[in-house]
Amino acid sequence: MPKKTIRPDTSPTPRPRRASGRPAANASVGKEIIFDTTIRLLKTRTPEQLSILEIAGAAGVTRALVRYYFSDLKGLLREVTEYLMRQLQDRMEVALRVQGTLSDRVHQRLILRLEFMREHPQFERLALSEIYHFEVDEKVPLTEAPLQRITKRGLELTSMLMDDSQLAGLDPRFVHLAILSVSAFIPTAQPLIAELFGDGPEADRQVDKYLQFISRMLADRIQQDDQSGGPNPGEGLPPMRKGRRPPRGTDHFP
């Protein structure tokens, strides 16, 4: 009697069900690679051109992992913006600890912010949408809103810049806005810069001379205000009351 041939079982082995919760991923994969990928893509793309699918593909992770960490694209962009803002403020804090004249310190802060915006061309746009005009949930304490956290530290850095007993009477908010206004304008006005100074290294030198001019002018004005008694801190600009939310559409700069 012929022997019965036993054929191997070729049916697929059922995959074990994964418990709900965090998506399966390599242990080395985390928020950092998603952050880094998003920041890299934003160097050549606008926020509107990005999608969770593209970011996940470029990072080598699943869409589920991105959604696990950030819920959606809006949540990812908000966290990336705060991450970049903290990076910029950390660099400024290091630079402000270096000794120098008031003019030198103002110039250094202007240069740092301008270089950072060149490194991250979508930074100012992200800051406007994800921090300045971020809609705060009424259930969230005001102190936990991105705008309040960023502004608080930004003013602390400006106070470091003016850390001199002779400048104690000057409102740091005025200096804060002056510095931010100058450094925010230059990257968005490149056609005007090119018309005035041309292109290339010579234009960069002229922009730096302009920043030095602004730094000296601002430092001189600060010292003149101090010697003449200066404006009272907060004159004409009452501080925000605790728990009060800024009017919608009002810009506050970090």
pLDDT per residue, tens digit, the chain (254 aa), is 555 555 555 555 555 444 445 555 443 457 899 999 999 999 999 999 999 999 999 999 999 999 999 999 999 999 999 999 999 999 999 988 887 888 998 999 999 999 999 999 999 999 988 888 877 665 555 556 888 889 999 999 988 887 654 555 678 898 899 999 998 888 888 899 999 999 899 999 999 999 999 999 988 887 776 555 554 444 444 444 444 444 444 444 44
Q: CA-to-CA distance for 65 and 70, rounded, in angstroms?
A: 9
Question: Distance between CA 178 and CA 106 in Å, rounded?
Answer: 10
Cα–Cα distance, 25 to 21 (Å, whole number) = 12
Whether the CB-CB separation of 71 and 65 falls below 8 Å is answered with: no
Look at the pTM and tell me if it is higher than 0.95.
Answer: no
Contact call for residues 131 and 122 (beta carbons, < 8 A): no
CATH of domain 28-71: 1.10.10
d(CA 97, CA 91): 10
Q: What fold characterizes domain 84-227?
A: Tetracycline Repressor; domain 2 (1.10.357)
For residue 69, what are its two tokens?
């960490």
Say how far apart CA 162 and CA 175 lie, in whole Å.
9
User: Please, where are the H alpha helices in 4-145?
Assistant: 31-41, 52-59, 63-70, 73-96, 102-119, 123-127
Note the pLDDT of residue 253. Answer: 42
- Are 206 and 197 in contact by the 8 Å Cβ rule? The answer is yes
d(CA 57, CA 207): 39
Residue spans per domain, the chain: 28-71, 84-227
Token pair recorded at residue 54: 């593209």
Distance CA 150, CA 82 (A): 8
What is the helix (H) or strand (E) element at residue 148, kind and residue range? Answer: helix 146-161
Following CA atoms 208, 44, 199, 190 in sequence, which dihedral angle do they give, to the nearest 10 degrees?
A: -70
